[in-house]
A and B are shown apart, each in its own frame.
Chain A
Amino acid sequence: MGSQLIAQTCVNVLMLASMYIMVAMGFALILSVLDVLNFSHAAIYTVGGYICYQLTVVVGMNQWLALVASTISVGAFGLFLEKFCFRPFITDMNRIIVITLALIVILTAGINVTMGSYIKRIPSFVSGVVKVGGVSISGERLATFIIGMLLLTGIMIIIKKTRVGLQMLAIAQDMEAAALQGIRTHRIAAVTTFIGCALAGVAGSLMGAVLSLSPYMGDLMLVKAIEIVILGGIGSIGGVLVGGLVLGAIDAVLPLYVSGYATELVGLGIIIVFLLFRPQGLFGRDKVRLV
């Protein structure tokens, strides 16, 4: 490999990883704080991308403003979801699964009807090429990675340092004990869903600019998010980061050596074999959950 290829691959790994982590982080937060396996998370990611597309290309809004607007509206949808779809059924896993699966069907069909099933592309947020020490790197991919990094650092600070974040962690550990300590569990659940969905919205918009938008792009992302969360271990935030990096590396490097379905097969094979030896994932500590 020439240095050009190595540099480009590194940027691709980091860019893909940061996008995967953003989606998986929201998924993991909702899973550990609300105990909800939100299958519709990736559909929300797709919706975020399409809202951004609609605002930039059709309405003609400033692109960065459109990104913020789509993030907030998707986050607001998350609030709606928490209030009307998760909260009433929190004890009944099967019903939540049916609801979230129904949301995938409805949101995907909604995009199909309103936007058409053709592949669309959001114009680049940052154009041009960055030259670092003789190798040129796509500025857009670098910018996407930097935005992802900044947001993730922000989220990490929120989770680890602020009151809200600590309350989230408390609820994730033990819902009832947290409620006994005076934490308003429903409010924290709402905040968590807002953050999770907003992150998915940002990732959708950025991916729509780097790659492309299609109504069915969520299916793949859902599988990736699940892979990352399981790989890293349920209930571990560091696990999501490492899992995302591993998966980003697999997805960015493997296509250089094998093609098409073989990529998928090798990637899935690695994960399956790993999980057979360590079912709780990299950093999953709670063996209780295995029951």
Chain B
Amino acid sequence: MNGINLKKVTLPFILLCLFFLPAVIRSPYYFHTLNMTLIYIIAASSLRTIALSGQISIAHAAFMAVGAYVSAILAKYLGWSPWVTIPMGGIAGMLAGVLVGYPLVRVRAIYFSMVSLFSGMAIVALIGVCQTYTGGDAGLIGIPPLPAIDLPWLPKIVFVTSKVNQYYFFLLLTMACLFFLHRVETSRTGTNWSAISQSYLVASSVGINEAKYRVMALAVGCFFAGIAGACYAHYTMTLTSSTFGFLPSINLLIYVLVGGVGNFFGPVIGTAVLVIIPETFRWLKEYVPFIFGGIMLIVAFLMPQGISGLVTQIKERIHRNSKNGEVVHRA
């Protein structure tokens, strides 16, 4: 095993599997689950990007809501194409992130989390107040779905009737988003973020503008939250504000924490596990939350670094055991 770089082999292998998945699975129901997973992977990964700068936001679903409602309203009332409104949703999410994030620079750590929680709830309440456009509690219905792509020298790609085509779209989008987030994380900006999260005093003493980089982290994270929300809107074609309230924000945080904050693929793994496994036990009906909670407890009790830290954890244990063995042998 030592000669092979596991990471370099595993990632392309998993991607290959995901691309050929439609050859194995036929049921549109499974693809619905996968599509939702992909949308939430974008949201959870962007939440982790914000967390990199030391800001644990409990309002992320609210920024998804901003993107979702902006995109849905533009597409429904102004008749714009969803291909235009989805990036607009992202930009709206980003603007909301900056607007909320700029005053929040004053507060740090647990206070940031709490004020972000209130801000998120205020955003959702605002959506409820603007009933004429957002539909309030009754929900916004009749959002246009993703339109077909009709390029001249290619076959027409229809999204409305085919969950598989939607799956490919979301897969490509998720890969693009993850690629971008990874580039940002490994760039100088990402380094500055982790410096701020370790100690904002030291970071500002070496010339890192704390306020600028913290707002920037929120802007980047909320842009992708907005994209994810807009995709959600055009995918499900209905929106209610309760989809983005307090508990959904907490759920996103759970995905990140269960997957592991320390690893880039933590939120991906966390979302996949916590969406797909409870979904496969759907026949248990009201007992499904027990499985969700059970997974969380197992992870919390047995895996300190989250699921993504499991490999390192096992490696360390084997290493330690062999070392212990040596000591015993010498004695």
Contact = CB atoms under 8 A, between A and B. Distances in A.
Contacts of A144: none
Interface string B92-130: 000000000001101111110011011101100110110
A119 B287 CA distance: 19
B102 to A, nearest CB: 10
A290 B257 contact: no
A105 B292 contact: yes
Interface string A240-272: 000000000000000000001110110011011
B84 interface: no
Contacts of B125: 261-262, 264-265, 268
A271 B117 CA distance: 11
Contacts of B300: 89, 95-96, 98-99, 102
Most buried by B among A95, A103, A108, A280: A95
B258 A268 contact: no
A269 B107 contact: no
B111 A264 contact: no
Given A99-B297, A102-B296, A290-B108, A262 B129 contact: yes
A101 interface: yes
A95 B258 contact: no
A281 to B, nearest CB: 9
Contacts of A109: 286-290, 293
B299 interface: yes
Of the four ranges (under 10, 10 to 19, 20 to 34, 35 or more), the interface on chain A belongs to 35 or more
B261 interface: yes
A232 to B, nearest CB: 12
Contacts of B253: 97, 101
A37 B108 CA distance: 16
Interface stretch (A53-61, A149-157, A222-230): A222-230
A279 B106 contact: yes
B297 A102 contact: yes
Of the four ranges (under 10, 10 to 19, 20 to 34, 35 or more), the interface on chain B belongs to 35 or more
A288 B250 CA distance: 27
Given A95-B304, A101-B296, A109-B293, A272 B258 contact: no
Given A98-B296, A268-B121, A272-B118, A261 B136 contact: yes
Interface string A201-218: 000000000000000000
Contacts of A99: 296-297, 300-301
Contacts of A280: 111
Interface string A91-113: 01011111101110110111011
Contacts of B286: 109, 112-113
B184 interface: no
Contact of B121 (A89, A101, A223): A223
Nearest to A216: B247
Interface string B222-246: 0000000000000000000000001
Given A94-B257, A95-B304, A105 B122 contact: no
A98 B129 contact: no
A289 interface: yes
A230 B114 contact: yes
A95 B146 CA distance: 40
B254 interface: yes
Given A261-B136, A272-B118, A98 B258 contact: yes
B128 A261 contact: yes
Contacts of A180: none
A63 B258 CA distance: 42
Contacts of A95: 300, 304
Interface string A12-40: 00000000000000000000000001010
A105 B111 CA distance: 24
A272 B101 CA distance: 12
B122 A268 contact: yes
Nearest to B262: A94
A290 B293 contact: no
B116 to A, nearest CB: 10
A50 to B, nearest CB: 16
Contact of B107 (A106, A223, A275): A275
B108 A264 contact: no
A230 to B, nearest CB: 5
A105 B296 contact: yes
A223 B128 contact: no
Contact of B114 (A101, A226, A265): A226
A227 B119 CA distance: 12
B56 to A, nearest CB: 9
A279 B111 contact: yes
Contact of A290 (B107, B122, B129, B247): B107
Given A110-B290, A113-B286, A276-B115, 5 more contacts: A98-B258, A103-B293, A105-B289, A275-B114, A279-B106
Which 3 pairs, one residue from A and one from B, show the smallest C-beta to C-beta distance? A261-B128, A109-B289, A102-B296
